[in-house]
Structures are given as structure tokens and as C-alpha cells.
Structure 1
Amino acid sequence: MEGEPAPDSPSRPNLRLQAASFTAFAAPSLSPSFKLDEGYSDETRSQSEKDIISDNVMMLPEWVLAQSEADRAELAYSLLRSLSTSTLSAVVDRLNPLLHMDPVVKLPPELTFEIFSYLDPKTLLTASLASRSWRCRILDSGLWRVLYINEGWRVDTRAVRSFEQEHAEALSPQTRRARPQYSEPDLGEPKHKKRVPPTWLNSRGAEGQGPAETNGQASTEADDEGDHHMADAADRAGSLSGDAMGYVAPASILPLPSMLQPPLQSSLLTRSPNGTVKVNWVHLYKQRRRLEANWHHGRFKNFQLPHPSHMDEAHKECVYAIEFQGKWLVSGSRDRTVRVWDLETKRLWHRPLIGHAKSVLCLQFDPSPEEDVIISGSSDKSVIFWKFSTGKKIHQIANAHADSVLNLKFDHRYLVTCSKDRTVKVWNRRALSAMDENYPRICRGGGATYPSYVVDLTDMAPNILEAGIANGHIKSLRPYSLLMTVEGHGAAVNAMQLHGDEIVTASGDRMIKVWNIRNGACLKTLMGHEKGIACVQFDSRRIISGSNDNTVRIYDHVSGAEVACLRGHNNLVRTVQAGFGDPPGADEALRLEAQEVESEFFKAQAAGVPVDLGPRALRRAGHYSNTAGSRDPRDIPALGAKIPPGGGGSAWGRIVSGSYDESILIWHKDRDGAWSIGHRLRQADAVANAARGNLSEAARAAVSAQAQQLQAAQVLMTLPAQDASAQTGEVTTDPETGSESPPATNTNNAATPPPAEGVANQPTATPAVDAPPPPPPVALINQHLNQLAAGHHHHHHLHAHPRRQLAPAPTSRVFKVQFDSRKIICASVDPRIVGWDFACDEEEITEACPFFQGL
């Protein structure tokens, strides 16, 4: 044979073998020639004799094993060359397990779980196509739960737990007796392969004794997929959603446990072999990605409160405050009432809560059975406590402040209020004894003052304290007692946040202050806004604020450095909410990212790049700073922050801000990590869409025709005003388009919006003298539309005007915006509360949304 070694070759012994010689020797445990173990090997498996002979192969003589590996390879090659093609193919099939080891099958599931958790979803889904074993491990529900959390998404664990308990069906005694013995609890663990030999199936089939022919059932087919073993398929079949990621789940080889249970009606559920029902995290992950895609692309459906068919339930005047949790929303209005809404029906839950003498400016509620409370603050200086479930007034602090209560926050320990009187007050929600850890600690020399009944425990010995409590000299504080009054702002305290033991306040004096709630000490003061601050949010890492300088700013809580300034509004930013989507363990990642940005700054400085110049100098040099989170060294506004420019967070982070320019901005992060405007929403458009969505086609056509007529009339009425402005030379700027238009004044008192009371020191516009008649206000358009659709019992709101025209009176100033994972809800001058639902009535997303929480 060509290529065979010469028989007389001196370099190797004669290797000609006879068949009988292979059986003449037993292979003792011999090792190959000695070589150093250097801590590395590229062998796919151990080459010991035990492994060689463990596969029922012919025993090799001792002298063959004593040869070097190169000589044995030559011998094997020579033998293989002497075989026919069909026999050689069979040998290759037997060698495949030695050459290709599947790590997913060989490694413990805990180890593969950890490895797969580092991969992104796209890579995982591609890897799941490798084999059934890979698919079963990759589509494990627990793995996708970890991936979900690592994305920075939050989940309502209480809702998940109660959902699983609700759908878990106890097995009946008959079912327990019928349960197969192989459905033990450890079925999910990997087992050694249990492949059925084809010869066994053929022999059984020939005898007519197939294992599954009993009871008339179909016979079981042989598994011809190389690395598939029955135990894995049976164990994981219940956890694979058929349409979870666009693939079809493999059929179970052991169907009995699932067949004994009722079929699952939703892909949101998965059943383990022992009958326990669990939430399918693969499905949850997929629906959350779909929901986030709707946010990114601006796909939503509008709705309004109340439902257009029940407009008699609406507030009578503008809405200053809203808050929603789950299916409940509570609103407070200038009409002095607090109303509780069911977001599923868009209807009032019970009668309006009446008790305040003036506008309701702020509120917070907790619908849980443990709390069951609504707390509201008003222009009448009072704070009222209501029972959420019934609407009954349970307590009132009549003169909580010397002026309007502009904001309030509470937790299970404290209630904190702030006011136009420039003070912040802290009240206890539970009875407090001097031994309680939440009892106030007096701080001398700070901005806090304390009532006389608060005892200074600083230098009091424990035995004296105990004696004073025992003899009644030191009394416990009753619920809702004033603990301290904090002063330090020079103007009205417009907004505040409570987080742990810290209070963050924002004021018309352009400053943000952080206070310790236990002793009232001022911990730090943040500056940067050029005008009064109207709103603030605090998440323990960042402080986000909106101001009358039309900007939204982000500060590092630890250092107080400003890390971003967002410019996009044309008027006062009245409300802001942010969700950064920090994944677990984000503190260290944020710190390292901030250090990297600072390192780039110093490198650029050493290279001579003009990074330490002021904004004006940079503009003269042709560079316009982007302070919305850019990492360009020339754009860094401050050093020393513990978080990077823009505030950090995940790619899913978003900020929603509402303004007196009648718009709502959704800020997203671009590819460079800087904040940019993703979508601009208008409250008036949402009202119109929500109203039109409940009309018939004929009514919609009639409304559209009427709207066009009103717009044409509006354009004609603006022509004299434009002529007059041409003579005087006075112009104003349209806040939406930026185009110049003549100055507007409003002589129609009915269309003039009421003055907002939630923010002190609001700028007011001075009407021009001898101004031309205004165009038809939006209220007039609404009146026409309401008359047109009166037969349908719907009210409609149209906010449409040509680009260059006399601006109507503001009717959609945004007072409050709140968002969660699914929707945005807005309160404004309009008595109707409107929302944007990004689930878009998609059934699977809507079904999964109760388990999602915001970022």
C-alpha cells in the first residue's frame, strides 16, 4: 500500500500484526512515555487505558501501547487505509464522541447557567440552535430572570409571587397515585445519556412488542440527534414557551406529568414536572423588550380620565397633582376635590373627596391594606388624611404651614411637607417614644427648630432617660406630631423628595438642599440653575431638577457636581421624572466610568487641547459644548463626580419632563451616552386622540370637517393682527416652532386659564394695549365639537393651529407628569387627565405589564 512504512525500516519495529495476536495479550494499566506536566493540555479527553478499553474495544497488546504516540498514529493510519469506505465511515462515527465534547452536557447546570448569564440575548438565541441540550439550558426560565434583572428592569416580586400562588393547582389524590415514578424532583438535573440503541428498537419492533404500543398509544421514535438525552427533554419541556423567542419547543419524550394537569392557557406560565406553576421569565423578557421598543419608536395609544362617555365625572377646573400605582390614580384639582380613579375602567372609584377650602396642590397615597391612606396638601395651608378604600376623612392638620402647602412626601415613619412660607416640616406617622430610633435628634446651630415637647437626648444618660419615661416626665409623641421645622431657603420651597434618611428640597431661590431627616441638619447645597426651581427627584445616586430657566439638570448626589444640563423646553419645566435603569452593583461600575472620563480629560489637557476654558472661550474657538452627557473632554462641566456625564445608567434609561410650553419631552440616550429628545408629546393632541378614539366613523368625519372650518376662521382673524404688528414692529416667538409671530393678548376672560398655584413667583405676561381681537380659543373649538358630537355623548378637544398665527391662550400647561414601565399620565390646565399607553392594546404585553415596574 502506498504510504506504508518500509518493513525493514530501522527507525521503527516491525508493526505487522495478526488478528490472533490482539486477543493473546491483556492490556495492563500502562502509561505512555514520561513527560512533564506543564499545567496545560489540548487533549479532548483522558487517554488512559481505562478510557480506551471502556467502550468495548479490542484490547491492544502491551508492546503497541509501549510505542510512542507518533508510532501509534502511524499504525492507526496504516490500518485505516486498509479498510473499505463503509467500514471507515463507521469508525469515524465511533470516533466523533472522542473528538467533539459538548460542554453543556458534560458541565453541571450551575456552571453553564453562570457562563450563559454573561452573554447577550441575541447570542444566546443563536446558540440555542446548536442542539436540544443547548436549547433546554439556554431557555431556562431562571437564566432569563437573571438577564431581565441585569438589563436594569425592575419587577414587582409581590405580584409574581401572588400570581404563581393563584395559578398553582394542588394535585388531586388520584393524580398523585397516577404520577409516574420517574417524575422525581431532581428531573431537572443533567443525566448521563440514555440513548436507545437502534438495534434494540428494531428487534422489539420485529417482535411486535414496542414499549409504547400498550393501551393503543403511538410507539416512541428513536432519538437520532447526536447529543440529545431523554431526561433533559422531559425535564425542560414545561419551561419552554413555544413562541418565547420565535422558535418551536421540542416535544417531550415523557409527556405524562404535563398530560395529568390542565393545559396552560397562557405563555406567561410554565409548569415544572411536579406540577408547580411558575412565571415564564423567557416570555416576560420578550414582552419587556417589545414594550421598550414601543417606547423607543413612539408607538402608543391615548386615553383620558374620565372616559369620554362619562364626562360628568371630570374635575371642574385644572388638575395640579396626580399619582398612580397599579390600577389606581389619585388626582387633586383647583376645584378643591381629590378624586380616585380606576385606570382599567377610566371611571371614578368612589365619590370625590371634599374637605379642602382651596386648591389641592399635592398628594401621595398608598393603597396597600397596611396603609390604606391618601394624604393631600392645599392652598388652605392644611394637610388632610383620607382612607383610600372608602374616601373617609380620618385626620387633618389644619394649619400645617403659614402659607400654601406646595408638596408633601411620606413613608412608614415620617410625613414631610414644604410650603410657600419657605419652610420644611417633619411629622411622625406613628406614636414615638424617646427610646425609639426614629425619635428626633436635636442638632444645635443648624437651621432646624424643635417644639418644646421634643426632648434633647444628646447628653442624657440612659438611666435618667428610663426614669423620665417611667415617671411620665418624658412622654411619647402622638401620631402626626410636629418633630421639627427646617429653615434655610430664601424663597418658597416648591418641591421635595424623601429617600431614606435624606430630604432633598428645591426652591425659588435657585438652590437645591439636602437635609438629614433625623436632626434637620443641612448636608449640602447644590447650585447651577439660573432661575427658580420647580421640581426635583432623588434616587440616592442622582438629583434631577427642572427650573424656570427652561432646563433639566442632573447632579451627582455625593459630590454635588452637575453632570448634565438638558435643553429642549421653551418655558418653565414644571415636572420631571427620571429612570436610569441601574443594573445590580451599579455603584462600582459608575465610579469606574467616571474615573475613565476624568482620565481622558487630563490626557486631553496634557496634550494641549483647550478643555479647561469657559463656555464663551470655547464658543469663540468654534466649539459649542454639549452638556447633556457628552464625554468629550471639552464638554465636561465638573470634575470629581462619582457618576459619569449624563448620570450613567443603562441603555433603557429615560427622562420625562413637562413644561408650561404645553409639551412633554421623552429623553433617551444616544449612541454616545448623551441625552437627546426622543419624542415630543402634546397634551392637547392626546386629548383629541382619546376623544376621537371613541367616536363612530361618521362622527369623526364631521369633527374633522368642523375643525377645518374653525382653523380657516382662525387664520382669517389673525390677518389684521399681523398687519398691526407690521406697523409697530413688535414680534414674539412661537414656543413650538420658534417662528416669529405678533404678540398675543387674551381679552376673552372665559378662555383665560386660571393662575397656577403649585409654584410660587410665576412670571406673568403683561397684555398689550389696544391689541386686536384674539382668534377663537381652544375652549370655543371644544364647544363646537361637543355640540357636534352631543348625540354620541362624547366631548372632544382639538388643538390645531397654523404655524404662523396668533397664539391662543395657554390651555395645556403641564403641571404634573408621571410614568411607569407602560404609560405616561399628565395633568394640566385642562380638567381632563390624559395618558399615553405604550402597550398599544397588544394582548401579550398587556398581560405581562402587571409584573413590570419602572426603571
Structure 2
Amino acid sequence: MNNNKINKDNLIEDTLTLLLKQSDNTKIDVIYKLVNSLSTISLQELSKKLDPLFHFDFLSKLPNELSIKILSYTDCKTISIVSNVSRKWHQLSLDNTLWKQLYTTKWKSLAFVKNKISQFYPYLSDIKKELELENDSFVFQFWEVLNLLENLRLKDYQNSFNKSFNNKKKTENENEIQKKYKEFENIPGLWRAIYYLHLKLDSNWNNKKYSIYNMVSHTDSIYCLQYNNERIISGSRDQTIKVWDLKTNECIKTLNGHTGSILSLQFDANYLVTGSSDSTIILWDIKSFEIVRRITGHQDSVLSVKFNKDYIVSSSKDHTIRIWDIKTGEFVRKLEGHKTVANAIQLKGDIIVSASGDRLIRAWSLSTGKLLKTFEGHTRGIACIFFDGNIIISGSSDCTLKVWDFHSNKLLFTLYGHTELVRTIQFDGKKIVSGSYDRTIKIWDFKSKQLLFSLDGHLSKIFCLQFSDSKIISCSSDKHIIKWDFSRDILNIFP
């Protein structure tokens, strides 16, 4: 009896040894025949034994950091599925680092969080205390997180953060902001909240859902504007520059200095530069709004001004582009080549791009003044231009927008839709927004080259616009500034 068992065991062992030496296909054939010979009960037992081989929980076996890294290469739909697999996977799916990575992959910029940090930081301890009341902070719903943030911020917002420039607290240095930012961004559930909030914002854009705020702001046509997270600054034919509170729409400062229309302006954290039909440029201190210096040299209206930390660049009705030292106001050099009015300029790094009524776009070196490239394609004069270092977008009185690759000089495509001169263009890498004398603003999808929708609200020619993740702000010959706010029914954390 024992001999028979030994012989049987040896036979199985020999057979197994022989099978293990065979190809995978042979093994599969043999196993299939064996499985077919089993009873239903035996098949169930076999299935139980095989199950762990097919359902190995690799994420649970890996360090959290590595698991999160793997999940960061997926998308929010996949993460939603992952969250229902197990308790461990659910916990991983709500990790702040993961959602921050998903956010930056989809939308790139984190600037808005840093911009808002000074508003939310004073309430950080209250936020943490509120979160600690939850049994499981990971399931703290994103709407609750954002409502908490906004409600706490609004308690004393008017007193703490809505002051005019003259009363504004000194800006914190970058290290202090970074320290606060690091502490703030680790609030459980925050990045998931921000991600879904931005999805909602995108949905509003896609479905043309917005609120409109109409500001009667000047006594004559408004030619130019720029805004940041706090202020709008506008320039008008009424010869004034006005500073507006972005949230309350109230005018907090009126600047007088030019004796002609304000045709162009730009500001940053230190300076405001304005160009006028009086042929002059004024450099203002952005904090005190005092005139630092007045620059003269152009022989006709200054149509466009741009600046960086070293130079002011201006273009004029006198056909020229001039470069000035921002610290001294001294003339550096003149760029000549356009045969008629130099309507608009853009400055990026060492490159100046100019657009003219002569139907040409020219690219120049800021440091040498050398003409680098010329772009030709419009059938009438060019009124406006956008340049980000790679893409040029131009708007013309031929009613079209043209999109160019700067490096290859290639015309990528032309957009048709406006019925009059295209006066202003902005681009964020995904959307092109244009304003025209036909009184409309048009939003285009860059990838598909399709018109998404048009906005009607101005009663006359549109001269200038700027847009961000949450809004478009435009100005017109109708004396109005209009805010088109796509963050309706969304808490105000996006610029």
C-alpha cells in the first residue's frame, strides 16, 4: 500500500517536473484538459485558490509615496473608480499630493493659490480646528471645505483686505508667502476641492454660464485696461486714468497727468506706464500713484507701451518703436522699418513683436535693435497682436485673426467670424479671446480652431480686453467696463 502511494507521488512529481520544462502553450493545454475533467464543486475550490493570483493588491504593498506617484499618471475618472476598490485605495485616492499633481497636470498654474494665501492664512487655525471635528478628514466634502474657507474669509474681508493701494499692507517677501503656502496647502481635502471647483469653472465656460457686471466708468471712450486680483486700471479719451476695486467696482483713485487720450497702459507691482495721444509716456509709482517721470520723444500719439525691469518700449503713430531706460527715462534706441502707424507691440524676453497698418508683423531684438523676422499675410492693416514667446496671434481690419508659429514663421491657421476690425486679443494656451469693432467678444478653442461662443453686451466698438481663469473684463467706446464672470455659483478663489 505504501509502495503504491510512493509510486503515485513519484509519478505526480515526475509528471510535474516534465510539465514545468514545457512551453507555456503546452502547459495551458494540459491544464485546460485537467480543469475540464473537474466537477463543479472542484472548480469552485480551484477558483478560490486561484483568486489571490489574479487580485494582487500592489498599491497596498507599495510605500504610499510610490502608490500616489502611480495614481498621478491617471485622471479624475480613474481615481473615482479607485476610491471604491478598498478602504486603503479610498484613502490613497483622496491624498492631497495626488490631487495637487492632477491639478497641475490639467491646469498647469498654481499661481491663484499663492495669490489668495494672504486672505485665507489668518483663518488657518480655525480651518484646521473645524477639520479635526470630522471623524475622517479624508471624507470631508469639497464643498464644505471651500464654503468654510470663504465664510471665514468674508467675516472681516472689507476691513482686512479691501483697502485702497494707499492703505495696503506691505507685500510679504516671497519666503514668508512660501512658508504660509506650504502650511496652507496641506489642509486635508483642499486640493481635491480645488480640482473639482476648477472643473465646475471649466463647465461654466463650456456652457456659456456667466454673470455680467456693467460699470459706467469714464466720461468718454475707454481705450485700455489691465487688471490683477485686486484692481482694474483703465485709460480713457477723457484724459484720465482710473483705478477700480475689482470686487466692489468702486473707483478708488483718478490720475491726471496727460493732456490727451490715454491709449495704452501696463502695470506691475512697482510701476504703471501710460502712453497718450499727447505723444508722451508717463511712469507712475504704483503704490503712491505719483509721477516718477514723463518721457518725451515720439512725434505723434503713443499707441502702445510695454515694459520690463530694465526698459520701456513704445510704439507710435509716427511709425517708430522706441526703447527707453526705465530707471533714468533716457532714450536707448529707435526701431524703424514700418511704413505706417505702429499700432501695437508685445515684449517677451529679448523679443519685441510689432504690428502695423502696413499689414506686416515684425520681430526685433530688444538688446540690439536688429530686425529678426517679418510675418506677412493680412490683406489690411493689423490693429493688435499677442505674443507669448512661441505663438503670435494678430487681429486686423480685414476682420480675421491669424495664428503664427514664431520660430518657423509658419501661418498655422486663420480664424473667421468678426465682421469688423479686430482690435484686441488675449490667449492663455487653450482659449483665444478677441474683441472687435463689431461690438462682440469671441471665444475660440485653440486646439479645434472652432468658435466656442460670442458675447454681446457693449453698445459700441470694443477697444481692449483681458481674461483669466474666471472672467473677461473689457472696455469700449460706449464708456463702459464690463466684467463677464464665469465663476458664478462658484466660490471666489480663482483670479
Alpha carbons of structure 1 residues 279 and 496: separation in structure 2 relative to 1, 3 Å:
farther
C-alpha distance in structure 1 between counterparts of 2:71 and 2:58, whole Å: 12
Aligned counterparts, 1:609-758, within 5 A: 653-668=430-445, 673-684=447-458
SS at match of 1:849: coil
Asked if 1:238 corresponds to 2:194, the answer is no
Q: How does 1:319-358 map to 2 (within 5 A)?
A: 319-350=222-253, 352-358=254-260
- Cα distance change on mapping 1:9 and 1:268 into 2, 3 Å: farther
Could you say if the C-alpha distance between residues 139 and 268 of structure 1 is closer, same or farther in structure 2, counting changes exceeding 3 Å? farther
CA distance in 1, matches of 2:184, 2:484: 42
What RMSD, in angstroms, separates the aligned Cα atoms of the two structures? 3.9
* Distance in 1 of aligned mates of 2:273 and 2:137: 47
Query: Which residue in 1 is equivalent to 2:340?
Result: 491
Number of the residue aligned with 2:60: 105
Residue 144, structure 1, aligned to residue 88, structure 2: no
Q: How big is the shift at 1:846?
A: 2.6
Distance 1:267 1:126, change over 3 A: farther
Going from structure 1 to structure 2, the CA distance change for 1:273 and 1:677 (only over 3 Å counts) comes to: closer
Are 1:384 and 2:233 counterparts? Answer: no
Q: Measure the CA separation in 2 of the matches of 1:275 and 1:376.
A: 38
Q: How does 1:237-636 map to 2 (within 5 A)?
A: 237-243=136-142, 265-266=148-149, 277=187, 280-306=190-216, 314-350=217-253, 352-366=254-268, 368=269, 371=270, 373-397=271-295, 399-430=296-327, 479-580=328-429
Could you tell me whether the CA contact under 8 Å between 1:169 and 1:276 is conserved in 2? no
Q: What CA deviation, in whole Å up to 9, does each residue of 1:588-643 have, x standing for no partner?
A: xxxxxxxxxxxxxxxxxxxxxxxxxxxxxxxxxxxxxxxxxxxxxxxxxxxxxxxx
CA contact (8 A) 2:138 2:189 kept: no
Give 3-state SS (helix, strand or coil) of 1:519's partner: coil
Residues 34 and 163 of structure 1: CA distance in aligned 2, closer, same or farther (over 3 Å): farther
Matches of 1:332 and 1:274 in 2, distance apart? 37
Matched, 1:847 2:484: no
Q: Distance in 1 between matches of 2:262 and 2:464?
A: 13
Compute the displacement of 1:95 (Å): 8.7
Residues of 2 paired with 1:267 and 1:364: CA distance? 31
Q: Distance in 2 between matches of 1:380 and 1:239?
A: 61
**Alignment of structure 1 residues 102-181 onto 2, 5 Å:** 102-156=57-111, 158-159=114-115, 162=118, 165-169=121-125
CA distance in 2, matches of 1:512, 1:93: 72
Q: For residues 258-308 of structure 1, what are the alpha-carbon distances to aligned partners after superposition, in whole Å with 9 as ceiling and x for unaligned?
A: xxxxx9934999x999996478111111111100110111011110224xx
Amino acid at match of 1:380: D
- Would the aligned equivalents of 2:360 and 2:375 in 1 still touch at CA under 8 Å? yes
Corresponding position of 2:156: none
State the Cα distance separating 1:514 from its structure 2 match: 0.8
Residue 531 to residue 279, structure 1, CA distance change in 2 (3 Å) = farther
Q: Tell me the TM-score normalised to structure 2 length.
A: 0.80
Identity fraction in percent: 35
CA distance in 2, matches of 1:274, 1:849: 16
Rounded Cα–Cα distance in structure 1 between residues aligned with 2:73 and 2:48: 34
Q: CA deviation at 1:10?
A: 9.1
More deviation, 338-347/137-146: 137-146
Q: Distance in 2 between matches of 1:106 and 1:812?
A: 65
1:134 to partner: Cα distance: 1.0
Q: 1:838 aligns with which of 470, 486, 490?
A: 486
Structure 2 CA distance, aligned partners of 1:656 and 1:274?
33
2:185 and 2:93 map into 1 onto residues whose CA distance is 22
CA contact (8 A) 2:99 2:195 kept: yes
Conserved? CA contact 1:666–1:678, under 8 Å:
yes
Q: Which amino acid aligns with 1:242?
A: Q
Does the CA-based 8 Å contact 2:124-2:184 persist in structure 1? Answer: no
Residues 535 and 575 in structure 1, CA contact (< 8 A), matched pair in contact too: yes
For the 8 Å contact 1:533–1:548, the answer to whether it is kept is yes
**Pair 9,579 (structure 1): closer, same or farther in 2 beyond 3 Å:** same
Change in 2 beyond 3 A, CA 1:329/1:424: same
Residue 239 of structure 1 deviates from its aligned partner by 4.5
Equivalent residue for 1:813?
Answer: 461
Letter in 2 for 1:848: I
Distance, in Å, in 1 between the alignment partners of 2:184 and 2:275 is: 53
More strand by share: 2
Change (3 A) 1:98 1:662: closer
Structure 1 residue identity aligned to 2:125? E
Query: How has the CA–CA distance of structure 1 residues 149 and 12 changed in structure 2, closer, same or farther, with 3 Å as cutoff?
Result: same
Query: Hey, what's the Cα distance between the residues in 1 that align with 2:386 and 2:408?
Result: 17
Matches of 2:381 and 2:344, distance apart in 1: 11
CA distance, structure 2, for counterparts of residue 568 and residue 272 of structure 1: 46
How many residue pairs were aligned? 445
Indicate if the aligned counterparts of 1:287 and 1:848 stay in contact, CA closer than 8 A: no
Contact 2:306–2:345 (Cα < 8 Å) also in 1: yes
Shift of the 92–682 alpha-carbon distance from structure 1 to 2, 3 Å rule, reads: closer
Residues 1:813 and 1:169: Cα distance change in structure 2 (over 3 Å): same
Q: Which residue of 1 aligns with 2:174?
A: none
In structure 2, relative to structure 1, the CA distance for the partners of 1:144 and 1:160 (3 Å cut) is farther
3-state secondary structure, aligned to 2:273: strand
Letter in 1 for 2:141: G
Tell me if 1:829 matches 2:477.
Answer: yes
Q: Return the letter of the residue paired with 1:655.
A: I
SS of structure 2 residue aligned to 1:136: helix
Once the two structures are TM-superposed, the CA of residue 817 in structure 1 deviates from its matched residue by 1.4
CA distance 1:547–1:33, change in 2 (3 Å): same
Q: Distance in 2 between matches of 1:357 and 1:331?
A: 16
Could you tell me how far 1:122 is from its partner in structure 2? 1.2
Shift of 1:114: 2.5
The alpha-carbon deviation at position 567 of structure 1 amounts to: 0.5
Q: Tell me the CA shift for residue 7 of structure 1.
A: 10
Counterparts of 1:390 and 1:119, CA distance in 2: 49
**Contact 2:142–2:190 under 8 Å retained in 1:** no
Q: Which whole-Å CA distance do the structure 2 matches of 1:572 and 1:276 have between them?
A: 49
* Change in CA separation of 1:356 and 1:266 when aligned onto 2, cut-off 3 Å: closer
Deviation, 1:831, is 1.0
Contact 1:239/1:280 (8 A) holds in 2: no
Q: Distance in 1 between matches of 2:421 and 2:380?
A: 10
The answer as to whether partners of 2:365 and 2:372 remain within 8 angstroms in 1 is yes
CA contact (8 A) 1:425 1:486 kept: yes
Q: Distance in 1 between matches of 2:149 and 2:3?
A: 73
For normalisation by structure 1, the TM-score amounts to: 0.48
**Where do 5+ consecutive residues of structure 2 fail to align?**
25-30, 153-180
Which amino acid in structure 1 is aligned with residue 462 of structure 2? Answer: V
